[in-house]
């Protein structure tokens, strides 16, 4: 996995020309690649290019329904945020370990969350570096017992993950949690620990039922613990040519219960996500401009409320070198 952002994409975000950005990259001697007319770079350069000043936050991807693509979205958003220069930790709590597998991590020899809660392993022992500025706390089948451990040890739901996540925010700008599709103790504890919950909905029959159950569970937690838990809804696997996709979007957007929570950004149906995983890559390993990359970029920006005003003044040295590129 070797994710990159192109200078063209970065320049558009910063509101400058690609030529200006390339001059700055050269003068600061930041690591980058140039293929024909395309310049691209990864996290080490992005950290200096964007210098985003944002409040650290934790986001969970969860919904009581399988097949919504939450893992693909969690992985892609984490990588895109990393390409904006943010230090990102992905926490895989789904016993299927799909997020772990997406990063090519073998969790068999690693401590996972069940080991942290039941055996006292530290987070530092469990966290694995998968790319510069991008780490993962892996998962395996034993995490299916997380609910039992929380009950047996009588752990406080509002402290199980909130306290360690808050501590981890001293090190990371963003923590992305991939939850299993259920309403157990562990998912409830995550819900009480994050700054916002993202619920992906797919346009298919009965797609709204999982969303209703998820929102009801969140509302119950809010009432029991007297907290506010922001819920964000995004439509995934959207196909504008399919009647069902149009109807699903119309139902959600037209329902007053979800009006304030429905995001503007949605993700089109695409084979790019599974194909990238099959190749052991991310959708951002290619320099080609794709719909999937554009969708995830918009989703990431909206979730984190990213814009160029959050960028600290650049430390680049001005240059007058001219070179044509895209």
| Cβ–Cβ under 8 Å, residues 215 and 286 | no
Q: Which residue has the higher pLDDT, 165 or 210?
A: 165
Give the whole-angstrom CA distance, residue 179 versus residue 190. Answer: 8
Residues 89-108 pLDDT 10s: 999 999 999 999 999 999 99
What are 1-18's pLDDT values in tens digits? 899 999 999 999 999 999
- Same domain flag for 20 and 103: no
Mean pLDDT for 113-136 is: 95
Lookup: tokens for 131: 């790319």
Strands 231-235 and 134-137: unpaired
277 CB neighbour count, 10 Å cutoff: 19
> Which position has the higher pLDDT, 205 or 177?
177
How big is the chain, counted in residues? 326
Q: What is the pLDDT of residue 116?
A: 96
Q: Which whole number is the average pLDDT over 196-222?
A: 87
Residue 138, φ and ψ in degrees, nearest 5: -75, 170
Spatial separation of the C-alpha atoms in residues 236 and 218, rounded to whole Å = 21
CA distance 62 to 15: 34
Residues 69 and 196 in one domain: yes
Question: What's the pLDDT tens digit per position in 251-301?
Answer: 666 666 777 888 889 899 899 999 998 898 999 999 999 999 999 999 999
Nearest to 177 by CA among 54, 52, 73: 73
pLDDT for position 66: 79
Give the H or E element holding residue 23: helix 18-27
| pLDDT number for residue 255 | 62
pLDDT of residue 309: 83
Domain co-membership, 134 together with 197: yes
Q: 180 Cβ partners below 8 Å, 6+ apart?
A: 93, 94, 95, 96, 186, 187
Q: How confident is the model at residue 248 (pLDDT cuts 50, 70, 90)?
A: low
pLDDT in tens, 231-244: 999 989 887 776 66
Q: Report the phi/psi class of residue 90: left, alpha or beta, with left for phi > 0 and alpha for psi in -120 to 50.
A: beta
Residues 47-89 have pLDDT tens digits of: 999 999 899 999 999 998 878 889 999 999 999 999 999 999 9
Mean pLDDT of the residues in the chain = 89
Q: Point out which residues pair with 197 in neighbouring strands.
A: 60, 231
Q: In this structure, are 223 and 105 located in the same domain? A: yes
**Which distant-in-sequence residues (6+ apart) come within 8 Å of 130 by Cβ?**
1, 103, 104, 105, 136
Q: Are residues 95 and 11 in the same domain?
A: no
**Highest mean pLDDT: which range of 120-134, 197-211, 257-271, 311-325:** 120-134
Q: Which of 109, 110, 92 is nearest to 101 (CA)?
A: 92
* Same domain, residue pair 281 and 315: no
Which whole number is the average pLDDT over 152-157? 95
Same domain, 162 and 214: yes
pLDDT at 242: 67
User: Are 4 and 73 in a shared domain?
Assistant: no
CATH of the domain at 233: 3.40.50.300
For position 320, what pLDDT does the model report? 35
Domain membership of residue 217 as a residue range: 54-307
Q: Where are the beta strands (DSSP E) in the chain?
A: 5-6, 33-35, 38-41, 57-61, 88-92, 127-131, 134-137, 174-178, 196-201, 231-235
CA atoms within 13 A on the CB side of 319: 17
Residue 266 structure tokens: 């949605």
Dmax (CA) of the chain: 66
Assess whether 218 and 143 both reside in one domain.
yes
> Do residue 47 and residue 143 come from a single domain?
no
Q: Quick one: pLDDT band at residue 225, thresholds 50, 70, 90?
A: very high
Q: Are residues 143 and 284 in the same domain?
A: yes
How much is the pLDDT for 192?
A: 97
Number of domains comprising the chain: 2
């Amino acid at each position: 996995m070797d994710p990159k952002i192109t200078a063209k994409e970065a320049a558009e975000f910063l509101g400058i020309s690609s030529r200006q950005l390339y001059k700055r990259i050269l003068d600061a001697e930041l690591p980058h690649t140039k293929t024909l007319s395309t310049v691209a770079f990864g996290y080490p350069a992005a950290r200096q290019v964007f210098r985003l000043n944002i409040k650290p936050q934790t986001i969970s991807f969860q919904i009581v329904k399988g097949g919504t693509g939450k893992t693909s979205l969690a992985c892609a958003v984490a990588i895109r945020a990393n390409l904006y220069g943010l230090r990102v930790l992905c926490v895989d709590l789904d016993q299927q370990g799909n997020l772990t597998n997406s990063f090519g991590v073998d969790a068999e020899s690693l401590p996972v969350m069940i080991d942290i809660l039941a055996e006292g392993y530290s987070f530092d022992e469990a966290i694995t570096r998968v790319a510069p500025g991008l780490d993962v706390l892996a998962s395996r089948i034993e995490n299916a017992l997380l609910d039992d451990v929380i009950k047996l040890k009588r752990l406080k739901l509002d402290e199980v993950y909130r306290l360690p996540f808050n501590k981890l925010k001293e090190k990371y700008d963003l923590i992305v949690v991939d939850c299993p599709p259920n309403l157990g103790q562990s998912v409830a504890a995550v819900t009480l620990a994050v700054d916002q919950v993202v619920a992906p909905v797919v346009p298919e029959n009965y797609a709204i039922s999982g969303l209703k159950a998820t929102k009801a569970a969140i509302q119950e937690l809010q009432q029991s613990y007297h907290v506010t838990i922001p819920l964000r809804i995004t439509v995934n696997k959207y196909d504008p040519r399919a009647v069902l996709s149009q109807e699903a979007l119309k139902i959600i957007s037209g329902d007053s219960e979800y009006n304030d929570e429905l995001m503007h950004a949605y993700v089109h149906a695409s084979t790019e996500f599974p194909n990238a995983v099959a190749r052991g890559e991310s959708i951002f390993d290619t320099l080609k401009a794709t719909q999937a990359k554009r969708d995830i970029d918009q989703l990431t920006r909206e979730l984190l409320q990213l814009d160029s005003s959050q960028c600290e003044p650049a430390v680049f040295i001005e240059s007058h070198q001219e070179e044509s590129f895209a």
